[in-house]
Amino acid sequence: MPAARKHFRKLIGPAALFLACGLFFSHLPALASENAFEPLKKRLAADGFSPARISAAFQPEVAPQFHTIAVCMRIREGKLNYGQFVTPSAVAEGQRFIRAHDSTFAKAEAMYGVERSVIAAIMLVETHFGSYTGKTPTLAILSTFALMDQKGQRDRIWRLLSERDREKWDREAFDKKLVDRSNWAYGEIRALFRLADRQGTRLPALKGSVMGAIGWPQFLPSSLERYGADGNRDGRIDLFQPADAIFSTANYLRGYGWCEAKNQSQKEEVIWNYNHSKSYVRTVLALARHLE
């Protein structure tokens, strides 16, 4: 998933529940812990990032997102209703978007060999063409996930779960999941720092989904670093701009083998790399067929 992941009731994208949780908890006071990120800062310094650079990234103070992580541990992606996107109104909106950006799609198709219908389908399902890209501070959520290699922090999340949620989890599996996410998140933070250094992005100001995905196509920092493309040729890659979002999505799909995919099964495998949900894969490809 480059994305992980809006709009209540009418249209709910793949990250809708994630984003809804982020919006719900955005007004709650964070669990104060001014030294919570010190182990992370030391790790970044040991990996070669300057102390001054690290300090600047965490200013103004970045608040840990413990409550949001607790909510994430209750989410079951398979229960999201993707089928609502293959409707006449959704298809009509997708077709309007394609017409409005016809020249950009034409250039992206020529450069990357990915059909505009597939690109548009992904952006419609992910964020409804930028209508709901998330309000969770990207650095804060990834940094909090990175803390989950510490048992004390996992215990904190465990206590935030309801009794019913704790009953669903085997504690060993719960810990393993969070340790795995800690390792994943640290890699995403490093990618985020490198991106910020190249583009001058203010990290505390960057917001997205509760899994750290940003922009219209909901790319994780590592995907943006690898597949981000400057579609409007302004010298920056900004996934909140339609041209950059279109080009970057096309580049991502090409990178995962879309142009070599000769049958339905191979195409499904490419989309699966974007979001590990069979329902998501079926929805994107069905919507793309309608958009054609």
Tokens of 135: 């309000």
Q: DSSP for 187-232?
A: HHHHHHHHHHHHH---GGG-EE-TTS-BTTTTB-HHHHHHH---TT
* Residue 128 CA to its chain's centroid (Å): 14
pLDDT confidence tier of residue 76, bands split at 50, 70 and 90: low
Answer whether residue 208 shows pLDDT above 60: yes
The tens digit of pLDDT for each residue in 104-158 reads 999 999 999 999 999 999 999 999 999 999 999 999 999 999 999 999 999 999 9
Instruction: Specify burial of residue 146 (Cβ count, 10 A radius: 0-12, 13-18, 19+).
Output: buried
Alpha helices in the chain (DSSP H): 16-25, 38-46, 51-57, 66-72, 88-100, 102-112, 116-127, 138-146, 151-160, 163-168, 171-199, 221-227, 242-255, 264-274, 278-291
Report the relative pairing of strands 207-208 and 136-137 from DSSP bridges.
Answer: antiparallel
pLDDT given for residue 79 in this prediction = 60
Contact criterion met (CB below 8 Å) for 199 and 235 = no
* Residue 78 CA to its chain's centroid (Å): 17
pLDDT given for residue 24 in this prediction = 45
pLDDT given for residue 174 in this prediction = 97
pLDDT given for residue 17 in this prediction = 43
Mean pLDDT of 167-179: 96
The tens digit of pLDDT for each residue in 262-280 reads 999 999 999 999 999 999 9
CA distance 126 to 152: 34
Nearest to 252 by CA among 154, 113, 134, 128: 113
Over the range 163-173, which residues count as b (16 or more CB within 10 Å of their CB) and which as e? eeeeeeeeeee
pLDDT given for residue 284 in this prediction = 96
Answer whether residue 6 shows pLDDT above 60: no
Nearest to 116 by CA among 130, 98, 97, 96: 98
pLDDT confidence tier of residue 35, bands split at 50, 70 and 90: confident
pLDDT given for residue 157 in this prediction = 98
Answer whether residue 87 shows pLDDT above 50: yes
Beta bridge partners of 207: 137
Angle between helices 242-255 and 102-112 (to 10 degrees): 20
CA angle 71, 77, 80 (to 5 degrees): 105
pLDDT given for residue 205 in this prediction = 84
Q: Give first-to-last CA distance, the chain, whole Å.
A: 24
Contact criterion met (CB below 8 Å) for 19 and 134 = yes
Mean pLDDT of 21-45: 67
